[in-house]
Amino acid sequence: MPDVLIRNLDAETVAYWKRRASEHRRSLQAELAVALEEIAARDERDRYGTFLERTGALRERFRGRDLGDSSAMLREDRDSDYGHPDR
């Protein structure tokens, strides 16, 4: 597992994390690892939630519209010489 080294932290910041680690009966390293993992997990949940909100908004925006069938346009594009100068 990779290691991370953080240098030149403020003494008050280190004291805070040491107190917190002590309250949770963990080492400073374990406390910081848990905190970083929780932040990363929360960030991923927030991103996923934002994605769901955006897709939901798009669904609402286009609800009831006939968007047609794009297969004809895709077939036309695939059968064209676009991007294939040697054909």
Residue 80 inside a domain? The answer is no
Give the separation between CA 81 and CA 73, rounded to whole angstroms: 14
Residue 38 inside a domain? The answer is yes
Residue 74 inside a domain? The answer is no
Number of compact structural domains in the chain: 1
Give residue 44's pLDDT.
Answer: 85
Residue 75 inside a domain? The answer is no
Amino acid making up residue 7: R
Residue 73 inside a domain? The answer is no
The one-digit pLDDT tens for each residue of the chain (87 residues) are 788 899 999 999 999 999 999 999 999 999 999 999 999 998 888 888 888 888 889 989 999 988 888 898 888 888 887 656 665
Predicted TM-score (pTM) of the model is 0.55
Q: Cβ distance 17 to 32 under 8 Å?
A: yes
Q: Cβ distance 44 to 50 under 8 Å?
A: no
Q: Identify the CA nearest to 13 among candidates 40, 38, 31.
A: 31
Residue 78 inside a domain? The answer is no
Q: Could you say which DSSP state residue 61 is in? A: H
**Domain interval for residue 3:** 1-62
